[in-house]
């Protein structure tokens, strides 16, 4: 008996076919996997007018069916998918431990035999095990009657899931009836469309996971190459997204209308993960340069050796003078001790100079030059030369940090390589801004950044956000070889000065402070000793709450 409403069978079929077409369009457009699975089941229930249903998935290469979505309208049951309610049932095994097929379960049978199963009354059906269904009915007062179980087969003829619909309802009376042949054909057509949509979405997810894994592999290579800055590639993306979400939520200022979609978030996340990928080409001895004289090793040891030679020469000279007939032993000893003291003072001074700092005074730079010519020594070739080589002088007089101008240029070149690497990739449309975001985090609002000297107006908000994240992470990082991590107050003071100097976006800086992004970051990544009490009123350039 047909269950059509009071209209012709043809009209009803045309309406349901139109619904099927609309469902196919909706399935092709859905991006979220959970919502897609939910849409498939709800659509199948609607097109067959079923009271309940379950969607199962068959994980690739496994002989199990996992519960993904469960809906029973009359009982108000909604589990899985976007509900957030976890499905408590274990997977259904397609074979027992001895490898025998589990054909007693309807859903397993549908998969193993690649066949739709249409059951008019579960309580009268022979050959299938409905003990679990009957136990459920006794517990809930429900009466499971008609079942329509349809395998979902992808374009490679693989069954990737099962649609099971329960208790078809007559559209006029609402009574529970059997699923018709039309219901079955429509459900099979829907299952076919759903399998294609699900396969496509899973393929996209797999490709995204593959790409993200490749990005992680690249970052791990950088980590392994430079353990001192390895965490940077992980922390900057986290801080970038924290600040981006704060900007997304702001309701005042020039960024009040700036918002992100899920695709925008993914694009920015990838850019942040890849922002330093060019460092894979940067020489290790430059990236890991902990002291001014470090290359493959710290050359301060060579200078220490020369000082030992000076002390030996001073001792030899002292002993020779003492052998003179009229030698004043006391005066000679005093002069010798003065010489040793002077040598040791200069030695300790150079050792201190070798440690990078915020700044080196001109007086200390001049003293390095004086020491370079103050002492003479014989090199391994027997030549009498100045105590320090020109290269050693250049390194020991570095004004800030541990890098020479040439080494700084090598470090800065990583961003050119990053841009070149990223621009060479065939990005899809929703990721086409990744090179710009990642390549702009060293630009400045005043146009004095690198590599392209862009001004704030020429930079995206995403690149400006990443610039702040990159700076703050570097200030607070405690794994740098050349400096300890700064406290929150120290870091915000420096960041505030950068805001005043036209380095960073002033409004983004205000949001960073106002939304207390720094606190959320500090809880996860900073040492407790660095997390001090911040007085925002004393932060330079901060415009207030």
Q: Partners of 65 in the beta sheet? A: 92
Alpha helix (H) residue ranges in 115-261: 131-140, 181-225, 232-249
Q: Is 402 helix (H, G, I), strand (E, B) or coil?
A: coil
Q: Can you give the pTM of this predicted structure?
A: 0.70
Inter-residue contact 216 to 224 (CB < 8 Å): no
Mean of pLDDT values over 288-310? 89
pLDDT number for residue 267: 95
The percentage of the chain sitting over the pLDDT mark of 70, rounded to a whole number, equals 92
Q: Is 320 helix (H, G, I), strand (E, B) or coil?
A: helix
Instruction: Say if residue 437 is preceded by a cis peptide, omega within 30 of 0.
Output: no
CA distances from 200 to 37, 197, 203 (A): 13, 5, 5
Say yes or no to pLDDT of 543 above 80: no
Alpha helix (H) residue ranges in 354-442: 362-374, 390-396, 405-423, 434-439
The alpha carbon of 355 is separated from its chain's Cα centroid by a whole number of angstroms, namely 33
Inter-residue contact 452 to 445 (CB < 8 Å): no
Which residues have C-beta within 8 Å of that of residue 74, sequence separation ≥ 6? 51, 52, 142
**Rounded Cα–Cα distance for residues 345 and 347 (Å):** 5
Q: For 160-192, write each residue's pLDDT tens digit.
A: 899 999 999 998 899 999 999 989 998 888 888
Q: Give the CA count within 13 Å in the CB-facing half-sphere of 497.
A: 6
Inter-residue contact 514 to 506 (CB < 8 Å): no
C-alpha closest to that of 250 among 472, 509, 434, 469: 509
The answer to which of 172-176, 279-283, 413-417 has the lowest mean pLDDT is 279-283
Q: Give the distance between the most distant pair of CA atoms in the chain.
A: 136
Quickly list DSSP for 14-67: HHHHHHHHHHHHHHHH---HHHHHHHHHHHHHHHHTEEEEEEEE--TT-SEEEE
For residue 101, count CB atoms less than 10 angstroms from its CB and return exposed for 0-12, middle for 13-18, buried for 19 or more.
middle
**Rounded Cα–Cα distance for residues 322 and 332 (Å):** 7
pLDDT number for residue 142: 95
Mean of pLDDT values over 414-428? 92
| Residue with the larger pLDDT of the pair 68 and 194 | 68
Q: What angle do CA 165, 168, 169 make, to 5 degrees?
A: 145
Quickly list DSSP for 491-521: HHHHHHHHHHTTSS-HHHHHHHHHTTHHHHH
Mean of pLDDT values over 99-125? 94
For the chain, list the domains and their CATH numbers: 9-204 (3.30.450.40), 226-280+426-538 (1.10.3210.10), 300-402 (no CATH)
pLDDT number for residue 176: 95
The percentage of the chain sitting over the pLDDT mark of 90, rounded to a whole number, equals 61
Inter-residue contact 370 to 451 (CB < 8 Å): no
Say yes or no to pLDDT of 29 above 70: no
Mean of pLDDT values over 207-211? 88
C-alpha closest to that of 198 among 59, 382, 369, 84: 59
The alpha carbon of 38 is separated from its chain's Cα centroid by a whole number of angstroms, namely 28
In this prediction, residue 9 has a pLDDT band, given cuts at 50, 70 and 90, of low
193: which 2 tokens?
């469309």
CA trace torsion 47, 49, 52, 57 (10° rounding): -20
**Rounded Cα–Cα distance for residues 204 and 295 (Å):** 45
In this prediction, residue 18 has a pLDDT band, given cuts at 50, 70 and 90, of low
**Across the chain, what does the average pLDDT equal?**
88
Inter-residue contact 218 to 277 (CB < 8 Å): yes
Inter-residue contact 223 to 233 (CB < 8 Å): yes
Where in 92-198 does DSSP place strands (E)? 92-93, 117-119, 147-153, 159-169, 176-177
Say yes or no to pLDDT of 3 above 60: no
Say yes or no to pLDDT of 6 above 50: no
Mean of pLDDT values over 477-494? 83
Q: For 325-376, write each residue's pLDDT tens digit.
A: 888 889 999 999 999 999 999 999 999 999 887 789 999 999 999 999 999 9
pLDDT number for residue 457: 93
Mean of pLDDT values over 235-258? 93
pLDDT number for residue 4: 47
32: which 2 tokens?
């979220």
CB atoms within 10 A of CB 184: 17
Say yes or no to pLDDT of 382 above 80: yes
Q: Partners of 459 in the beta sheet? A: none
pLDDT number for residue 1: 45
CA distances from 433 to 211, 348, 422, 456 (A): 16, 51, 10, 17
Q: For 422-463, write each residue's pLDDT tens digit.
A: 999 999 999 999 999 999 999 999 999 999 999 999 999 999
For residue 198, count CB atoms less than 10 angstroms from its CB and return exposed for 0-12, middle for 13-18, buried for 19 or more.
buried
Say yes or no to pLDDT of 481 above 70: no
| Residue with the larger pLDDT of the pair 407 and 240 | 240
Inter-residue contact 45 to 78 (CB < 8 Å): no
For residue 520, count CB atoms less than 10 angstroms from its CB and return exposed for 0-12, middle for 13-18, buried for 19 or more.
middle
Say yes or no to pLDDT of 212 above 50: yes
């Amino acid at each position: 008996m047909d269950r059509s409403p009071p209209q012709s069978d043809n009209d009803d079929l045309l309406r349901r076919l139109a619904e099927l077409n609309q469902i196919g369009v909706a399935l092709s457009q859905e991006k979220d996997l959970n919502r897609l699975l939910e849409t498939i089941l709800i659509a199948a229930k609607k097109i067959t007018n079923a009271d309940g249903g379950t969607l199962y998935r068959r994980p690739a290469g496994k002989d199990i069916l996992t519960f993904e979505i469960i809906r029973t309208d009359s009982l108000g049951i909604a589990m899985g998918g976007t509900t957030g309610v976890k499905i408590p049932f274990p997977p259904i095994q397609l074979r027992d431990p001895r490898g025998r097929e589990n054909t007693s379960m309807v859903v397993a049978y549908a998969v193993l035999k690649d066949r739709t199963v249409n059951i008019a009354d579960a309580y009268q059906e022979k050959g299938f095990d409905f003990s679990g269904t009957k136990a459920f009915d006794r517990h809930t007062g429900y009466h499971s009657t008609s079942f329509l179980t349809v395998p979902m087969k992808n374009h490679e003829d693989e069954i990737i899931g099962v649609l099971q619909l329960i208790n078809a309802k007559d559209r006029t009376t609402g009574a529970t009836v059997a699923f018709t042949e039309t219901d079955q054909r429509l459900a099979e057509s829907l299952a076919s469309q759903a399998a294609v949509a699900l396969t496509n979405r899973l393929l996209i997810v797999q490709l995204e996971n593959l790409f993200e894994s490749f990005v992680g592999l690249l970052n791990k290579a950088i980590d392994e190459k430079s353990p001192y800055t390895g965490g940077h590639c992980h922390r900057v993306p986290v801080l970038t997204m924290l600040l981006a979400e704060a900007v997304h939520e702001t309701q005042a200022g020039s960024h009040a209308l700036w918002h992100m979609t899920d695709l925008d978030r993914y694009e920015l996340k990838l850019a942040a993960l890849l922002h330093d990928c060019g460092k894979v080409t940067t020489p290790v001895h430059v990236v890991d340069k902990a002291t001014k004289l470090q290359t493959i090793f710290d050359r301060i040891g060579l200078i220490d050796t020369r000082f030992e030679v000076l002390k030996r020469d001073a001792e030899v000279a002292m002993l020779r003078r003492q052998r003179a007939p009229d030698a004043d032993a006391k005066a000679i000893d005093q002069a010798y001790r003065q010489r040793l003291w002077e040598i040791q003072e200069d030695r300790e001074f150079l050792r201190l100079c070798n440690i990078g700092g915020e700044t080196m005074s001109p007086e200390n730079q001049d003293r390095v030059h004086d020491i370079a010519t103050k002492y003479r020594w014989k090199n391994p070739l027997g030549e009498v030369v100045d105590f320090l080589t020109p290269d050693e002088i250049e390194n020991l007089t570095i004004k800030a940090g541990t890098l020479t101008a040439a080494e700084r240029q090598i470090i800065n070149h990583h961003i050119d390589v990053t841009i070149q690497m990223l621009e060479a990739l065939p990005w899809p449309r929703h990721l086409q801004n990744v090179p710009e975001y990642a390549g702009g985090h060293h630009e400045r609002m005043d146009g004095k950044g690198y590599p392209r000297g862009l001004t704030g107006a020429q930079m995206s908000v995403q690149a400006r956000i990443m610039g702040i994240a990159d700076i703050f992470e570097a200030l607070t990082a405690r794994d740098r070889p050349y400096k300890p991590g700064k406290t929150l107050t120290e870091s915000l003071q420096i960041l505030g000065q950068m805001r005043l100097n036209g380095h960073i976006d002033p409004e983004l800086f205000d949001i960073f402070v106002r939304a207390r992004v720094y606190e959320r970051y500090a809880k996860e990544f900073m040492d407790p000793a660095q997390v001090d009490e911040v007085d925002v009123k004393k932060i330079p350039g901060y415009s207030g709450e």
